[in-house]
Amino acid sequence: MRTITHFINGAAVEPRESRRGDVFDPNTGKVQAQVAFATRDELDLAVDAALAAQPAWAALNPQRRARVMFRFRELIEAHMDELARLISSEHGKVLADARGDVQRGLEVVEFCCGIPHLLKGEHTAGAGPGIDVCSMRLPLGVVAGITPFNFPAMIPLWMLAPAIACGNAFILKPSERDPSAAVRLAELAIEAGLPRGILNVVHGDKEIVDAILDHPAIEAVSFVGSSDIAEYVYARGAAAGKRMQCMGGAKNHGIVMPDADLDQAVRDIVGAVYGSAGERCMALPVVVPVGERTAQELRERLVRAIRELRVGISTDPEAHYGPVVSAQHKARIERYIQMAVDEGAELVIDGRGLAVPGYENGFFLGPTLIDRVTPEMQSYRDEIFGPVLQILRANSFDEAISYPSRHQYGNGVAIFTRNGDFARRFAMSVEVGMVGINVPIPVPVAYHTFGGWKRSAFGDLNQYGMDGVRFFTRVKTVTQRWPGGTGTSGDAFVIPTMS
């Protein structure tokens, strides 16, 4: 059986120990490969390679690093279909979603091609008599990223592209459920001209995560995953003195106002809920119609649209979405569906028990719709992370906006309306980090920044954009005076003042 190995110092590294994880084909339910789990010694190999390579990479001028990023971008684009097939085969998302996964990561690489401009510091001439002050952004050294299963290309690229462009060396620990895309990206980076040792990939589970968080040579760690794990990773890494950036879970709401274009809203909602089988932290698993008339009409249209969805294998060009990632995750989603029923919600469409002909052992779930949900229900409070939509009815705009604002998660939120006053009030007052106005999945473009509030994010800086540059650099400020200049001879200087 094929073994997915570590990628250290520019080459595949055979594992030293026998611990492995199974990599499934979610379409068939069968094991297709095994991924080697790294030991602390193998992490040391990766860190040693990074430490050796990073000073020369950091000393390279930014435009030369940008040239590598340009070539990396070209290679990712040229290998888009190959990367999408790898993602689909291990994650289960359909090829169109897999290409989108790669494309959104590619856009961050494009942003990082501008790193010479992004790293420019500030300068003040004449801060005092003959005194100038300037600041510069410098790389941290060796940094790391720990990424989830749901975006095997996009989220690694969110992290590694700005980190490397800024002059750091990077250790990537991808999800053990779908690790092949990360290894292929590292190979392409070497082909693009990245020096060996600057990007290393190690695989594993909690054992290697803890080793990364404890390693004294790793200066910063970026993480995306569930909130409970994000909180753990943040606390352990911060206790070890590292800079930490940890993105957690979500329960995103879509507010539907009575004046909304319901045809467009339904199309947007169905795509946002069920695309990629709902395994997205920016999915839209809760809709909040305002008023009973809106709720009833929305429900009727949702039922019709959901009945038209096709669930199929990840290579089926007619399928709207494919299987979920694992048997365990499928069972977890099914438990939440039953929990909602037991809590008194109305199960309108039950996606359990779906079988795709010829793939009866695959990890498939049909689209599920649950109405009459209330804020007290555990199934509402928790992140389900699957093809499940819950309807939470509201009587007014103020009631509707209170639900996402009071929820433990604050990742994304959307409102569907034609009313600019409602939209503006909503955007200004809702207690959520990313807001969409008639946009169901408000993931910011690569030159802005991604990050939620409350238990959706731990740390001060967001992913990619300028926050990504800030996270992977530190500022050095220089105050300088040259003797012999006009007006400086004989002046005493301790602290610059205005006098």
Q: How many CB atoms lie within 10 A of CB 114?
A: 15
Return the pLDDT at 342: 98
Segment 273-291, tens digit of pLDDT: 999 999 999 999 999 999 9
Return the pLDDT at 1: 85
Report how far residue 212's alpha carbon sits from residue 242's, in angstroms, rounded to the nearest whole number.
10
Return the pLDDT at 274: 98
pLDDT for 411 beyond 80: yes
Between the alpha carbon of residue 266 and those of residues 262, 298, 299, 440, the distances in Å are 6, 7, 9, 10
pLDDT for 100 beyond 90: yes
Residue spans of alpha helices (H) in 275-396? 292-307, 327-342, 378-381
Return the pLDDT at 18: 80
Which of 119-133, 176-190, 216-230, 233-247 has the least mean pLDDT? Answer: 119-133
Q: How confident is the model at residue 429 (pLDDT cuts 50, 70, 90)?
A: very high
Residue 130 gets the label, from left (phi > 0), alpha (psi -120 to 50) or beta, of left
Return the pLDDT at 15: 85
The answer to whether the CB of 184 falls within 8 A of the CB of 86 is yes
Give me the chain's average pLDDT, please: 95
Q: In what order do the strands lie in the sheet with 473-481?
A: 123-128, 131-139, 473-481
User: Which CATH fold would you assign to the domain 3-248+456-478?
Assistant: Aldehyde Dehydrogenase; Chain A, domain 1 (3.40.605)
Return the pLDDT at 311: 98
Least Cα distance to 273 among 231, 343, 333 occurs for 333
Helix (H, G, I), strand (E, B) or coil at 123: strand
pLDDT for 103 beyond 60: yes
**For range 254-259, the mean pLDDT:** 98
Segment 314-326, tens digit of pLDDT: 999 999 999 999 9
**For range 437-445, the mean pLDDT:** 96
Query: 218-224 and 286-289 as β-strands: parallel, antiparallel, unpaired?
Result: unpaired
Helix (H) or strand (E) holding 185, with range, is helix 180-191
Report how far residue 87's alpha carbon sits from residue 296's, in angstroms, rounded to the nearest whole number.
38
Report how far residue 223's alpha carbon sits from residue 414's, in angstroms, rounded to the nearest whole number.
25
Query: 457-458 and 453-454 as β-strands: parallel, antiparallel, unpaired?
Result: unpaired
| % of the chain residues with pLDDT over 70 | 97
Q: Tell the residue number behind the tokens 């995306």, with chain if given.
A: 224
Tell me, what amino acid is at 97?
D
CA 152 to chain centre: 9
Q: How confident is the model at residue 225 (pLDDT cuts 50, 70, 90)?
A: very high
Return the pLDDT at 498: 54
Residue 359's beta-bridge partner residues?
356
Least Cα distance to 423 among 407, 402, 438, 405 occurs for 438
Between the alpha carbon of residue 32 and those of residues 136, 180, 320, 326, 488, the distances in Å are 48, 12, 24, 13, 73
Residue spans of alpha helices (H) in 37-94? 40-59, 62-78, 80-91
CA 443 to chain centre: 10
Return the pLDDT at 450: 95
Report how far residue 41's alpha carbon sits from residue 416's, in angstroms, rounded to the nearest whole number.
53
- Residue 134: active-site member: no
Segment 450-497, tens digit of pLDDT: 999 999 999 999 999 999 999 999 999 999 998 875 545 555 556 655
Return the pLDDT at 308: 97
Tell me, what amino acid is at 157?
L
Residue 146's beta-bridge partner residues?
173, 223
Read off the tokens for 285: 């698993």
Segment 19-75, tens digit of pLDDT: 999 999 999 999 999 999 999 999 999 999 999 999 999 999 999 999 999 999 999
Length of the chain: 499
Return the pLDDT at 483: 81
Return the pLDDT at 108: 98
Report how far residue 367's alpha carbon sits from residue 273's, in angstroms, rounded to the nearest whole number.
9
pLDDT for 442 beyond 80: yes
Q: Tell the residue number behind the tokens 């690694």, with chain if given.
A: 156
Between the alpha carbon of residue 271 and those of residues 97, 321, 413, the distances in Å are 11, 10, 15
Least Cα distance to 19 among 214, 209, 204, 210 occurs for 204
Report how far residue 474's alpha carbon sits from residue 148's, in angstroms, rounded to the nearest whole number.
26
Domain regions of the chain by residue span = 3-248+456-478, 253-437
Q: Kindly name the residue from 112, 166, 246, 281 that is annotated as catalytic.
A: 281
Classify 253-437 by CATH class: alpha beta
pTM: 0.94
Buried b (16+ CB within 10 A) or exposed e, 468-487: bbbbbbeeeeeeeeeeeeee
- The rounded radius of gyration (Å) of the Cα atoms in the chain is 25
